[in-house]
Amino acid sequence: MPLRYAVWRFERTELAQKAARLLIWRAAANSDQGLPSILDSSSAKSFANHVARCVTGKAVNLMGGYGYSARNPMERRIHDAWGWGIAGRAIDLQQVNIASTMIGRRFDQRR
């Protein structure tokens, strides 16, 4: 049973990675006439970062304490996944951009 669960986890993370990659490619392809749309770019950024955090978190869980050891490259990957979510504008701000584009109204993000 544990092997079946691990295989299911790998399959789910592979699907999520492919979906994130397709969203990024779609945002890039739709931007060939100028700047990409806020909806496309924010959706791609938000989902890709969510997937990166989930996948690295599951990998560390699968590896146990060794996965978070400084000697293991997975430790660097999980720090990068969380760090890029902050550096590329927080996921919460991307979600505000998505909602404001869908509603058709900009929200003041400074309050």
DSSP 34: S
What per-residue confidence (pLDDT) applies to 108?
Answer: 67
Write the CB contacts of 108 (distance below 8 Å, at least 6 apart in sequence).
none
Q: Are 85 and 53 in contact (CB under 8 A)?
A: yes
What per-residue confidence (pLDDT) applies to 107?
Answer: 67
Q: How far apart are the C-alpha atoms of 89 and 95, rounded to whole Å?
A: 10
Residues of the chain with pLDDT under 50: 1
What per-residue confidence (pLDDT) applies to 111?
Answer: 60
CB neighbours (10 Å) of residue 39?
A: 16
Task: Give the three-state DSSP class for 88.
Answer: coil
Q: Are 72 and 66 in contact (CB under 8 A)?
A: yes
